[in-house]
Structure 1
């Protein structure tokens, strides 16, 4: 996979993690225009696009050590959050979970930093 493609896929998933309205509308209300879910985002990020490999090999190219640090924080927060979920945890209350909100804020910080260059 080309480096810029890998960036694009990773950052589009991070945008979805940051977007509370998208999650409410698509993940819980079933907006027919889009199809996505928390599980699909996590599987794409970790299985399809190897986020941890991306952090190890690809993220080093960024001029901003702060951006790399924030990406690593997001990875850590996501892993901790995923480890604490049980099978019944995925309800609309998920969107108000303080841990998930912290992940959303981290993701938004990353998007803002990336857009600033």
Structure 2
């Protein structure tokens, strides 16, 4: 009888311990399941963030390409304007030279006319 009572007590203790272990197992299983779900959500969020960043990168690349194209056009335009300015400066110098020569010619003609008139 005593032995049966001791065995029953041992069985009850083992049953209780098994129940506790079973609860801990279920808790850990749920915790693992929750962790996996959280990890999947984070992965999905990361994929969306990466996708959005890639789309923004495409937009920025297009914008940069447009800006580089505009810069190249402006550089060509600047070179053309410098060329035109150089040509205009040469024309201005030639006109100034012609004007100076014309003034000298007018002075000479005036002096000649005055001398001729005085004779």
Q: If the length of structure 2 is used for normalisation, what is the TM-score?
A: 0.21
Which structure: larger Rg? 2
Higher relative contact order (CA 8 A, sep 6+): 1
